[in-house]
Each structure stands twice: as C-alpha cells, then as structure tokens.
Amino acid sequence: MNFSPLSRLAAATLAALVLAGSAAAKSIELLNVSYDPTRELYVEYNAAFAAHWKAKTGDDVVVKQSHGGSGKQARSVIDGLRADVVTLALAGDIDAIAKNAGALPADWQTRFPHNSSPYTSTIVFLVRKGNPKAIKDWDDIVKPGVSIITPNPKTSGGARWNYLAAWEYAKRKNGGSDEAAKAFVAKLYKNVPVLDSGARGSTTTFVQRGIGDVFLSWENEAFLAVKEFGADQFEIVVPSLSILAEPPVAVVDKVAKRKGTAEVAKAYLEYLYSDEGQDIAGKNFYRPIDPKAAAKYAGQFTKVELFTIDQAFGGWTKAQKEHFDDGGYFDQIYLKN
Amino acid sequence: MKSPRSLRAAATAAALSTLALAPFAGRAQTAPAASSDDIAALREQIRLLDQKLRVLERNVELKDEAATAAAAKTPGVNADAKGFSLTSPDKKYSLRIRANIQADGRYYFEDRDAGIDTPDAFVLRRIRPSFEGTVAEKYGYRLMFDLANNQVQLLDAYATYKYSDAFSALFGKTKSPFDLERLVSQTNLLFIERSLPTLLGPNRDTGVQVYGDFLTGRLSYQAAYLDGASDGASLETESGGNDGKDTVVRLFTHPFKNDQDSFLKGLGLGFAYSTGTREVATGAFRAYTSNALVPFFQYGGTVRPDGSHDRVSPQLYFYKGPFGVMASYTESIQELVTTTVVGGVNTITPASKRADLTNRAWAVNVNYVLTGEDAGHNINPKPAQDFNFEAGTWGAWEVAARLSQLAVDEATFAGAGTGTFANRNTQAQRIDSYSLGVNWYLNRNVKASLNFEHSEFQEADASTADFENENAILSRVQLSF
C-alpha cells in the first residue's frame, strides 16, 4: 500500500503522541481507610510517601484518607468501599474484612514485619487541668460521680482497647476473677453518659463540648489534645497498667488488583517501616517499633506496664467473640445498665 | 420547644443570677447570709446541671448524626406529579414508572368525499406505560410500550451512556432526531394531533445516536446513524427492513438562553438534515393524513423507494411568558420507481418509471395561556392553582391556532392513465389546514383538549376529482404522570 506523504506525517505524529503519552508519568490514586485518630499521622505520612515514590519512580501518588470508628470502617470496606489499603485500630477488624468480604487472605498479618503493626500505642487518661477528681488509676474512674468519656466498643477499635485494659486491670487486682472484672467494667460504663461511634467523636465530646471528667484515650490522641488546646486545659494521667495497642495495616488485594494499584499499595505500607515512616509515627505520638526511632521518642512517653491482647485474652478472635459479639459481655453489661 | 443549648444557657443564667444575688438577699430579708459552703454547693449544682445539659445536647447531636447517616443509606421512594420513582442511596441507580392515557373523541362534519366516510368515534389514542432510569450512574435506559388498539407495541427501548454534558450516546430505538414537533413528548402536544410537517420526517428508528450541549447549553447537537424510516413512519420492521441506512444530524441553538434580561431569551433556532438510501419492498409508505387523521394521499401500490432519500427541516420556536410560537418547514426528496408484477413479485423492469420527487410541508402555530402561566417548548403550562370546583379555582387555560400545509410533488401525478406514482383522481395533491384549539390543564397530570380542524384539499392537474373540505372536532382527556 502507498500512503500519501500527508498520511504518513499524520500517522507518525499520532504514533509520537501515543509513545509520549505512554512514557509520561502516571498519576495514581490510593484510598487509605483508617480509624479515627490517625488523621494527622497520615496527612504527614502521605506527603512524605508521595515525595518518596515520585523520586523513586517518577509517578505521582495521591492518597485519599477515610476515617471513622475502626469497626465502622471495616464494615464499610466489607460493604464495598474501595480501599486500596486499610490501617485500622485492631487486627480483628481486618480479620472481619478477610472473612466477610474475602478481600485479602486470612494470613494477611504475616505480610509485613511485627504482625503488620508498624507502630504501637496504648490507652491513657485525659483529665481536665488540675485533675479535679484526683484520678490516678482505674479504680478512681469507677467511683460514683466521675463522668467517663469513651466511645462505643461496637463501632470503635479504641473503645475495645479501653474496655479490655479496664477488664484486665480489674481481673488482675481480683485474683484473676472474670466476674469481678465484669462487675468493674459494668461500674465503669455506668459512669459513661455519651457513647460516640469513634475516638475522634469522643475527643470532641470531652475536649470541645466540655463533657466528662476523664477521657479514656488513645495515647497519641491525648497528646494531640494537649498540644492543640494547651497544657493549661488538660493533663495526661497514665494508669498503672494498660494494654499494648498494635494497630495493623494491610493491602486490600481484591481492590488493589482490580484498580492496578497493588504494587504502590504494598510500597505505601512498607514505607511505614522506613526511617522516615517511623520518625513520622513518633512525631505524631505513636510508639515506633524501630529501636532507633523508639529511642528518639522514648522521652515523650511515660513508662507503663503494658500487656498484650494475646497474653490476656488469647488474641482478637477470642476477645471479640467473648466480649463484643452480639450477646457478649459488653451487651450483657451495657444493656443491663 | 427550646433546644438543649438554649435550655443550658437559661438554666446557667438562672443559677448564676441566684448565686449573684445571694449576698444581697440577706440585706433585704431576714434570712441568714449564705455561707461559703452554701455557695460551693450551689456551684457544684450548677456544674452538674451544666454537665447534664451538655450531655443531653451531645446525645441529641449524635442522634442527629446517626439519623443523617442512616438516611444516606436509605433508598429513596418518591411519588409526585412526575411519577413514581425508586432511587438507590448513592443516587446511581433509579427507576421511574410513568404512564399516559389519552381518551379521544372524533366528530366529522364533512370529509373530502373520495369514497371515504370517516366514522365518528371514541378511541383510546395512546395507552403508554414507560419505565426509565439509571444504572451505575452514567448509564440510562427507557422502555415504553403502547397498549392502545388492543395490541402491544414496543415504542422506545434504548440504553444511554453519558460521558459529559457535551457527549452522550444512545443505542436502540427511539424518535429520530429530525422533526421539531415529533420530538415534543406526546403528553405536551399543543394540538391533539401533530401537524403536517411530521408526515415528511421519520418517526421512531433503531440505531445509534450521539448528542450533547456546548456553550453552556446554547448550542446542542444530535447525530444519528439509523436503520431508516419512511416519511411519517417508524422503521419498517424491528429486524430492519431497509437495506440502506439513514444519517441524521440536527443542530439547535438558543442564542440568548443565558441572557436573563433579553427579550429573546426563549428563542430557539435549529436545522435538521437526513440523508440515506432506501431499498424496500412496495407498501413501505405511510399514507399522509389530515390533522384529523383522515388519509388524503397514498402512493400507488406498485411504487417503491429505490435510491436516495434526503430531508431538510429548518425549525424555530419562541416563548415569552404566556405566549408561544413554533414553526417548521420540511422538504423530503426521495427517489421512487414503479414496478411490474412478474411471477407474483414486484419487479423493476425496463419499463419502470423513475423520479426524484420532492414533497414539502410547513406549519406555524401560536398559543397563549389565558390564565397567565408560562408557555414553553415541550412542557405543559403548570397551573398556578389546580382545578377545584369547591374552591373556585380553575387550573390553567390555553388557546392555540395553527396554519399548516403539505404539498406533494406535481410530478407524482404526471404521466399516462391516472398518474405514474399516485392516482390523481383519488389522491389529493395538497392540503391546507387551519386549526383552533383550547387546552384546559386541570393540574399537572390531567389535561382536556378540544380542537376544531378545517382542511381544504387541492386536486392535481387533470384530476377528475372534486374534493370537499373537511371539518372535524377532536377532543381528548389525558392523564399522565
């Protein structure tokens, strides 16, 4: 076939445009579905990762964030929210996604170091300046007349950590009696006037609405409140015993594969373990797992005796079933109250 | 009822007032002065009261948030003047059920006396349920049936894809984007029957259409590649009886649409063009009928289209307040051929006659809403007050007048015998029609219409016929939603 010079020129121009287009930098969008108090952490981390990925591959990455109570967020992913990655408050919520949506394998927690938890945290008490109710430990908050702010364990991961920390404290104090622990936690919830669906909602209730004497808070959330509203407004009280909260992360394979983002989603979570990722975690009052970063930020955290969920409750699956599933201990306590 | 926030403010103010006045109370009365313990107790009471009200307020806030979140997940169910609809919580999926019932009465005083005695009749002109909506946000669908005349016809069946306001695509069967009045919905017609130019344009056709708006809605386009339909008719068969295809393009502009203060804001101007080839068997023509639906022209039984078929149609409308005018002109140029029956089949032979015949039609109609509501294109006036006999409200009333004409190419009747392509002694060459109408919009869903139709017929040259004028009254009660 003979084409005219004009046709050849048009074809060459078109081919050049196609090649130029394919060689151009890609723009990738990820959705990170996370729990309530990680907003500030991921705003800073997303910018750092985008710069890292751009330098490494030349591609632009925009990470969108979605926040809410951890259980509620897991429900949304199960119902179809197209998350590339989830960074939730507890492993049980990601287990639920694996089990109910089949969106990632059951052994997802083995994919990244440290059981896929790149940082840890714990539960502390945030009280009003001067600590007018003289709250020092768990026993003080269940006294009559003390108003406690904590979210709903049915929807909030942080609330489940709060609940389990109180349970274990009471159990140890009463010779390992679950009945005593149950009675203690029942007293605790009698003092709760408002049940928000997530930790950030509870922060609003305590900090902005001025309700309650003590807020059972994620450690990083308590630090943020003090930082934002001033040390003349609030104080952090660290109880004698608390729980080691290990918020995990995972790639949602089903979505990432479909969207073609599996590689960048994996890299996004891996980078949390990098020096920069760990430093950002520390700066945002999470406890880094990397020894170097942990040492750098050790000074800002009060030393506290911590127990793990595996040690005290036999893991999340068991704890979830016994305490938080319908008809579990929480329902027995709260519905009775 | 006071809000928790205002209750809290009132209670706090009352308590503070009590507290503030306490030191002075003792001076005016004989009661002992409040001790510091009393003041401390009062302060604690205020604090507890304040906390209780804050808790109440926050719980109301959370309840509202939960209600809002729940509402966002609840499918929408709607029933109003526009029909009955279901919508998914994310608005991406919807179904709307609509219907139109038209019960007509036709009364003929005279007709053109060509062996036709049109009976007066009550008829169900249209019984049309339709189902339309969206799937996956950008995709749309519509199914419309007609159940009149005790038969089921599938009139509209299509899927759409909307990329943007500037580009949408339609696949399936619906109206060809050609004739101005044909594109007006059956429920919004000014007169009971459409005017004569629609007899020269295509009706419904199957194929692909693309359409969209530019210049913030001032310019719209429609382009279609279709199976091809004869003048005034829908496509021959659902499987496609025309080997040739039609390409249709229509441009329409509202040049002053966005000029809020312009007198010409309601002006619309357009032009439609269709071109294609038609190669179908005999009997592929629809008879031309008067505005009272009485046939006045039909090609001969051995004539068939065989070749090009082009149409043009300039069109305009103008609406200002209760006044409206709409006009269109259509020209249809078609290559026809006569056939001879050979072995029971209509066959083109060396003796066949062939011609490009040009038929022309135009119509102008004006309308005025007596009760002052706005007139508009493809919408019925919305009554300011629905008809209610007891309340003495009468809905909206509109009067309308129309002039229209259709002229068949003189060459159609030329030739030996009674004419080459049509019988000059039984078929009229031209019709001039005069229409008067009254529309009563009882509410947005019920409309009653009364039309007087007068038509005058002109015979072809050398015709032996003497057609009388036709006078008819048409009436309609329409319910639509």
How much is the average pLDDT of B236-256?
79
Q: What per-residue confidence (pLDDT) applies to B112?
A: 52
Chain A interface, mutation test: which of B47, B50, B56, B58, most A Cβ atoms within 10 Å? Answer: B58
How much is the average pLDDT of B18-32?
52
Find, in chain B, the residue whose alpha carbon is nearest to that of A205. Answer: B58
Nearest to B55 among A193, A197, A201 (CB): A193
B37 with B109, same domain: the answer is: no
How far apart CA B28 and CA B14 sit, in angstroms, is 20
What value does the mean pLDDT of chain B take?
89
B321 with B253, same domain: the answer is: yes
Q: How confident is the model at residue B174 (pLDDT cuts 50, 70, 90)?
A: very high
Inside any domain, residue A1? no
Q: What per-residue confidence (pLDDT) applies to B234?
A: 82
What is the extent of the structural domain holding B20?
A: 4-72
A172 with A230, same domain: the answer is: yes
List pLDDT tens digits, range A78-134: 988 999 999 999 999 999 999 999 999 999 999 999 999 999 999 999 999 999 999
A130 with A227, same domain: the answer is: yes
How much is the average pLDDT of B272-299?
87
A34 with A60, same domain: the answer is: yes
Inside any domain, residue B95? no
A56 with A136, same domain: the answer is: no
Collect all residues of chain B within an 8 Å Cβ-Cβ radius of residue A211.
51, 54-55, 58
| CATH classification of the domain holding B441 | 2.40.160.10
The answer on pLDDT for B85 being more than 50 is: yes
The answer on pLDDT for B131 being more than 90 is: yes
B324 with B461, same domain: the answer is: yes
More confident residue, B417 or B136: B136
And the tokens for B246?
């039609």
Closest-CA distance of chain A to residue B52, Å: 9
A39 with A104, same domain: the answer is: yes
The answer on pLDDT for B249 being more than 90 is: yes
Collect all residues of chain A within an 8 Å Cβ-Cβ radius of residue B59.
193-194
The answer on pLDDT for B403 being more than 70 is: yes
Contact partners, residue A143, CB within 8 Å, separation at least 6: A133
Closest-CA distance of chain B to residue A234, Å: 17
Contact partners, residue A41, CB within 8 Å, separation at least 6: A220, A280, A281, A284, A286
- Say if the Cβ atoms of A197 and B62 lie within 8 Å: yes
Q: Assess contact for B480 and B98: CB atoms under 8 A.
A: yes
Q: Assess contact for B258 and B223: CB atoms under 8 A.
A: no
- Say if the Cβ atoms of A194 and B51 lie within 8 Å: no
In this structure, of A95-104, A165-174, A225-234, A280-289, the range with the lowest mean pLDDT score is A225-234
Q: What per-residue confidence (pLDDT) applies to A182?
A: 96
A93 with A135, same domain: the answer is: no
List pLDDT tens digits, range B465-476: 888 899 999 999
Nearest to A147 among B51, B57, B59 (CB): B51
Write the single-letter amino acid at B133: G
Inside any domain, residue B90? no
Q: How confident is the model at residue B15 (pLDDT cuts 50, 70, 90)?
A: low
How much is the average pLDDT of A267-276?
97
A278 with A224, same domain: the answer is: no
Write the single-letter amino acid at A18: V
Inside any domain, residue A108? yes
Contact partners, residue B313, CB within 8 Å, separation at least 6: B178, B179, B180, B197, B201, B271, B272, B273, B328, B329, B330, B331
The answer on pLDDT for B260 being more than 90 is: no
The number of folded domains in chain A is: 2
- Say if the Cβ atoms of A201 and B51 lie within 8 Å: no
| CATH classification of the domain holding A134 | 3.40.190.10
B195 with B273, same domain: the answer is: yes
DSSP one-letter code for A272: G
B315 with B371, same domain: the answer is: yes
Q: What per-residue confidence (pLDDT) applies to A13?
A: 46
Q: What per-residue confidence (pLDDT) applies to B99?
A: 94
Interface confidence (ipTM) of the complex: 0.73
A167 with A296, same domain: the answer is: no
How far apart CA B23 and CA B12 sit, in angstroms, is 18
A65 with A182, same domain: the answer is: no
Inside any domain, residue A3? no
B47 with B196, same domain: the answer is: no
The answer on pLDDT for A6 being more than 70 is: no
For a pLDDT cut of 90, what percent of chain A falls above it? 81
Q: B119 burial class (0-12, 13-18, 19+ CB within 10 angstroms)?
A: exposed
Q: Assess contact for B221 and B177: CB atoms under 8 A.
A: no
- Say if the Cβ atoms of B59 and A147 lie within 8 Å: no
Q: Assess contact for B241 and B280: CB atoms under 8 A.
A: yes
Q: How confident is the model at residue B2 (pLDDT cuts 50, 70, 90)?
A: very low
A215 with A256, same domain: the answer is: no
Nearest to B62 among A194, A210, A212 (CB): A194
For a pLDDT cut of 90, what percent of chain B falls above it? 67
- Say if the Cβ atoms of B58 and A147 lie within 8 Å: no
Inside any domain, residue A183? yes
In this structure, of A25-34, A125-134, B228-237, the range with the lowest mean pLDDT score is B228-237
Q: Assess contact for A87 and A38: CB atoms under 8 A.
A: yes
Collect all residues of chain B within an 8 Å Cβ-Cβ radius of residue A196.
62
- Say if the Cβ atoms of A205 and B58 lie within 8 Å: yes
Inside any domain, residue B171? no
Q: What per-residue confidence (pLDDT) applies to B431?
A: 97
Inside any domain, residue B442? yes
Inside any domain, residue B172? no
Alpha helices in chain A (DSSP H): 5-23, 39-57, 70-78, 91-101, 113-116, 138-141, 157-173, 178-190, 199-203, 219-229, 253-259, 262-270, 275-283, 291-297, 309-313, 316-319, 329-336
Inside any domain, residue B248? yes
CB atoms near residue B115 (< 10 Å): 6
The answer on pLDDT for A21 being more than 50 is: no
On whether any CB of chain B is under 8 Å from the CB of A196, the answer is yes
B66 with B196, same domain: the answer is: no
B43 with B108, same domain: the answer is: no
Collect all residues of chain B within an 8 Å Cβ-Cβ radius of residue A195.
62
Inside any domain, residue A332? yes
Find, in chain B, the residue whose alpha carbon is nearest to that of A204. Answer: B58
Find, in chain A, the residue whose alpha carbon is nearest to that of B53. Answer: A211
On whether any CB of chain B is under 8 Å from the CB of A70, the answer is no
Inside any domain, residue B127? no
Q: How confident is the model at residue B1 (pLDDT cuts 50, 70, 90)?
A: very low
How much is the average pLDDT of B379-391?
95
Inside any domain, residue B96? no
What is the extent of the structural domain holding A232?
A: 123-244+304-336
The answer on pLDDT for A148 being more than 70 is: yes
List pLDDT tens digits, range A193-239: 999 988 889 999 999 999 999 999 999 999 999 998 888 999 999 99
And the tokens for A246?
């290990």
The number of folded domains in chain B is: 2
Phi–psi pair at A93, nearest 5 degrees: -70, -35
Contact partners, residue B27, CB within 8 Å, separation at least 6: none
Inside any domain, residue A291? yes
DSSP letters, A297-314, are: HGGGS---EEE-HHHHHS
How much is the average pLDDT of B351-358?
93
Report the candidate in B111, B206, B81 with the shortest Cα–Cα distance to residue B155. Answer: B206
Q: How confident is the model at residue A19 (pLDDT cuts 50, 70, 90)?
A: very low
B48 with B112, same domain: the answer is: no
B43-52, B275-284, B308-317, range with greatest mean pLDDT: B308-317
In this structure, of A145-159, B6-20, B53-67, the range with the lowest mean pLDDT score is B6-20
A193 with A295, same domain: the answer is: no
Report the candidate in B297, B285, B325 with the shortest Cα–Cα distance to residue B180. Answer: B325
In this structure, of A21-35, A230-244, B91-105, the range with the lowest mean pLDDT score is A21-35
More confident residue, A11 or B445: B445
Q: What per-residue confidence (pLDDT) applies to A231?
A: 84
- Bridge-based pairing state of the strands B396-407 and B430-441: antiparallel
How much is the average pLDDT of A308-325?
93
The answer on pLDDT for A242 being more than 50 is: yes
Q: Assess contact for A76 and A68: CB atoms under 8 A.
A: yes
B36 with B107, same domain: the answer is: no
Inside any domain, residue A264? yes
B114 with B9, same domain: the answer is: no
Inside any domain, residue A2? no
A165 with A22, same domain: the answer is: no
In this structure, of A80-84, B173-177, B180-184, B418-422, the range with the lowest mean pLDDT score is B418-422
How far apart CA A44 and CA A281 sit, in angstroms, is 9
B111 with B51, same domain: the answer is: no
